[in-house]
Amino acid sequence: MAYELPNLPYAKDALAPHISEETLNFHHGKHHNTYVVNLNNLLDGDSSKSLEDLMKETAGDASKAGVFNNAAQIWNHTFYWHSMKPNGGGKPTGAIAAKIDEDFGSYDKFVEEFKTAGATQFGSGWAWLVLEGGKLKVTKTPNAECPLTAGATPLLTMDVWEHAYYIDFQNRRPDYISTFLESLVNWDFANENLANA
């Protein structure tokens, strides 16, 4: 069995007007799918290992960089789609809200750190909310890197590769980041990940 492109958890027009159907056609249908095709080619269609195991086994191994990059990008993108939802955004509720207040001091402080991580990730990469050592942290990773391989538990991510926002926001990454937090972020998903951590 080969790895397959996971379906989006919503219709391709469901995040409009914030993220357009055109963006999802390219981002999910082309970019995400290419990582699936590439990984299947590299492994001759052998999908016997989970993406998480593949990532952990190949992280930091230059000779396996192709496998790591494609496996991680499949995982990261799937996680990103679930980190957003139609009519999302705004302040969190539930356990994640209390944990954010406890570990960051306030939701506004979290927003400040998350925006900074996304805006200052040079080139391509990701901004993350993770649980590490029992505490919430904001972190950023370049290219296909994922906090999962460093022992942290991802709770939420935002893709800051240009193809995530360029059709809708052009070069205005800070506007995309603000829109992600105000109108897209899926706090229910973060709460689920926190509960399972």
CA distance 67 to 100: 34
Residue ranges, comma separated, of all CATH 3.55.40.20 domains in the chain are 94-196
pLDDT in tens, 97-111: 999 999 999 999 999
Percentage of residues in the chain having pLDDT higher than 90: 99
pLDDT per residue as tens digits for the range 114-156: 999 999 999 999 999 999 999 999 999 999 999 999 999 999 9
Q: Sorting pLDDT into bands at 50, 70 and 90, what band is 1?
A: confident
What pLDDT, on the 0 to 100 scale, is given for residue 42? 97
Dump pLDDT digits (tens) for 45-100: 899 999 999 999 999 999 999 999 999 999 999 999 999 999 999 999 999 999 99
Confidence at residue 163, expressed as pLDDT on a 0 to 100 scale: 94
pLDDT number for residue 45: 85
> How many angstroms separate the CA atoms of 174 and 181, rounded?
11
Dist CA 23 CA 29 (whole Å): 9
Give me the CATH code for the 94-196 domain, please.
Answer: 3.55.40.20
CATH classification of 21-82 is 1.10.287.990, yes or no?
yes
Enclosing H/E stretch for 138: strand 135-142
Do 28 and 1 form a contact (C-beta atoms < 8 A)? Answer: no
